[in-house]
Amino acid sequence: MTRPPVIVTGGAGFIGSHTCRALAQRGFRPIAVDDLRTGHADAVKWGPLEQVDLADTDRLATILARSGAKTVIHFAASAYVGESMQHPLSYYTNNVATTVSLLRAMARCDVTRMIFSSSCATYGIPKRLPITESTRQQPVNPYGRTKLMCEEIIRDHLTSVGGEFALLRYFNAAGADPMGTLRERHEPETHLIPLALLAAAGLRPPLKVFGTDYDTPDGTCIRDYIHVSDLARAHVCALEYLEAGGASTALNLGTGEGLSILEIADAIERLTGHPMPWQPAPRRAGDPPVLVADPSAARDVLGFAPRLSDIDTILRHAAPHFGLEVRHARVA
């Protein structure tokens, strides 16, 4: 079944490229819109690539009008917390101003449906766990603030034009396409699982563990890791939900299970036979000890539940891209 085209900003990036694959598998035609500042042209395999900066409203409007798309899935952003603290204006420009530019282009073409990549970073340091969608959003860094501002701008604009939206707040994306056709390639890499795998493969120095004295069972930070192909599928669920007339929504995308850094180190060693060398480092400002989602709203609203997000499956799909063989993983 051939279904309508969908514009995917950031479609050459990690989560965007996996989502293009998931869309194509469900019969949609993904059109990636990406200026390749951190993305990779060779990750765009399931539809055309329009190489354009989202700041260019006129070109966006031309692409939108020509495509006939009725939905935009908006991944394109700068996404490094540390960098956002050093260069906040770049983040307000590339995340907030470009979202306004994109919404203006959509308005010109009467496109009124958006699915947006938000983040658990909008919650800051939560007082209670797990984090639900009604947990107060109090971001503690410019990156998180840009995501919260975008949520509010999208909500205000699309409500004013009678459109609809899904604001999807991801926890930690990890893993890689099970078929091996895509992988995580951030430069510089700051995400824990690729850094840990690179350290285990001897391709990088030992992993710096920022804080070993948190109030967690082993003293290291706990995060909620969701497989990127599960995340991608959640976007297709959100698209089908909105197309079927579902009300606009904001949803957490996580598993509800947390893993500490040292638990990940143990899993890597167990699965690959390689120890993951690490060294303690001071805590980083603004790093919450534990971030774990309450995933029940996504299940209730979208009928979405992760299928690949146990740590063995995440590592089984990611490790080969870092030259590590996984010998003992449970098969999901």
Joined together, the tokens standing for residue 235 give 């976007």
**Does the protein bind ligand NAD through residue 54 (CB under 6 A)?**
yes
CA distance 20 to 30: 5
The residue from 25, 26, 27, 37 that contacts ligand NAD (CB under 6 A) is 37
**Does the protein bind ligand NAD through residue 177 (CB under 6 A)?**
no
CA distance 42 to 109: 29
The smaller minimum CB distance to ligand NAD, of residues 210 and 274, is found at 210
CB of 2 vs ligand NAD, minimal distance in Å: 26
Question: Do residues 229 and 18 lie in contact, with contact meaning Cβ atoms separated by under 8 Å?
Answer: yes
The residue annotated as part of the active site, out of 91, 123, 143, 225, is 143
The smaller minimum CB distance to ligand NAD, of residues 5 and 39, is found at 39
**DSSP H/E element including 199:** helix 192-200
CB of 328 vs ligand NAD, minimal distance in Å: 26
**Does the protein bind ligand NAD through residue 79 (CB under 6 A)?**
yes
**Does the protein bind ligand NAD through residue 35 (CB under 6 A)?**
yes
CB of 100 vs ligand NAD, minimal distance in Å: 12
123 in catalytic set: no
CA distance 85 to 87: 6
**DSSP H/E element including 152:** helix 142-160
The residue from 6, 12, 250, 319 that contacts ligand NAD (CB under 6 A) is 12
**Does the protein bind ligand NAD through residue 19 (CB under 6 A)?**
no
Phi first, then psi: give them for residue 194, nearest 5 degrees. Answer: -60, -40
Candidates 16, 78, 70; CA nearest to 41 is 16
**Does the protein bind ligand NAD through residue 100 (CB under 6 A)?**
no
The DSSP symbol for 42 reads G
**Does the protein bind ligand NAD through residue 58 (CB under 6 A)?**
no
Candidates 108, 95, 128, 121; CA nearest to 9 is 95
**Does the protein bind ligand NAD through residue 267 (CB under 6 A)?**
no
The smaller minimum CB distance to ligand NAD, of residues 19 and 260, is found at 19
Q: Which residues of 299-309 are buried (b: 16+ CB within 10 A; e: fewer)?
A: eebbebbbebb
Q: Which residues are near ligand NAD by CB under 6 A?
A: 10, 12-16, 34-39, 53-55, 75-77, 79, 94, 98, 117, 119, 170, 172-173, 186
Which residues are part of the catalytic machinery? 143
